[in-house]
Amino acid sequence: MSALYRLKGLQYSYLWNKQQVPVLKGIDLELESGCFACIVGPSGTGKTTLLNLLGLIDSPSQGQIEFAGQDVTTLEEKHKEDLRLHKVGFIFQAFYLIPTLTVIENTSYFLPSLGYSTGDAHKTAMETLDLLGLADHANKKPLELSGGQRQRVAIARAIAKKPAVVLADEPTANLDSVTAEKTINAFKELQRSANTSFIFSTHDSHLVSFAKSVYRMKDGQIEKGS
Ligand SMILES: Nc1ncnc2c1ncn2[C@@H]1O[C@H](COP(=O)(O)OP(=O)(O)OP(=O)(O)O)[C@@H](O)[C@H]1O
Ligand SMILES: [Mg+2]
């Protein structure tokens, strides 16, 4: 298998109160294409920060990120946007659904920009919602849903476009065990059918039990768990 990500000496600091606060302190990591990997570790250790770098949302303070064989560390913003649209599905910890759009409109949001016709976008979004047990809620707005339902809409939006990689920040945090299982099965199915890679940040031991690789974050560094 080829490397999806190669991280070399990756560092990231937040600017807070006019001071640089180091969070990631030199991460060297290779993640394979087609991986199902979990990043674990206590709250505040930098898991979300790392996913934001992998998703090309933030840029590293030091070090290098290679994505699908390309050095993306200093890529121009418009090229990053293009890579994000075509290759990355991001499930944010805070969902970031668009409140004025319905569930199906949120789910199909990126598909027209990827060349889907209106009909195909609708069909794909509906199939994805069905897979996640949300078909009956397609015409509701996010505020009319429970927290776990909102989380699954965010998941549906990320996986509907069958990206090369799904970066998922605590994707099962608001789900009961049956719904979580269904969601994990949907991830596994996409991994199998489209060779989509999955990288999770999670505190959920059930999700971790499905991972092929587990990376533990500690003191701004990463140590391979198993
Ligand atoms: N915008 C910001 N400005 C300053 N500091 C920040 C900012 N965002 C995060 N941090 C700090 O960076 C550290 C890592 O945060 P991060 O969100 O990556 O943690 P996490 O491992 O995802 O935690 P959790 O498990 O609670 O989601 C924390 O100490 C946090 O306070
Ligand atoms: Mg987090």
Give the integer Cα–Cα distance in Å for 131 and 190: 11
The mean predicted confidence, pLDDT, of the chain is: 95
Tell whether ligand 1 has an atom less than 6 A from the beta carbon of residue 49.
yes
* pLDDT score at 125: 98
* pLDDT score at 219: 87
Residue among 95, 32, 103, 101 nearest 68 (CA): 32
226 has a pLDDT exceeding 90 = no
Rounded average pLDDT over 89-118: 97
Give residue 108's pLDDT band: very low, low, confident or very high (50, 70, 90): very high
Rounded average pLDDT over 92-101: 95
* pLDDT score at 72: 96
* pLDDT score at 98: 97
Give residue 225's pLDDT band: very low, low, confident or very high (50, 70, 90): low
Angle (CA) 108-201-91 rounded to 5° is 10
* pLDDT score at 2: 83
Domain harbouring 101, CATH code: 3.40.50.300
Ligand 2 ion: residues within 5 Å (CB): 47-48
Tell whether ligand 1 has an atom less than 6 A from the beta carbon of residue 149.
no
Please count the structural domains in the chain: 1
Give the integer Cα–Cα distance in Å for 52 and 167: 9
Out of 12, 23, 91, give the residue to mutate to test ligand 1, the one with the largest number of ligand atoms within 8 Å of its CB. Answer: 23
* pLDDT score at 224: 65
Tell whether ligand 1 has an atom less than 6 A from the beta carbon of residue 88.
no
- Interior/surface letters 26-57, b for 16+ CB within 10 angstroms, e for the rest: ebebebebbbbbbbbbeeebbbbbbbbbbbbe
- 128 contacts 160 by C-beta, under 8 angstroms: yes
Residues 43-65: pLDDT tens digits?
999 999 999 999 999 999 999 99
Tell me the CA–centroid distance for residue 45 and ligand 1, in Å.
7
Rounded average pLDDT over 111-128: 98
71 has a pLDDT exceeding 70 = yes
Q: Say how many C-beta atoms besides its own lie within 10 A of residue 159's C-beta.
A: 25
Structure tokens at 186: 């949907």
Q: Considering only CA atoms, which residue is closest to atom 11 of ligand 1?
A: 44
State the residue range of the domain holding 164.
3-224
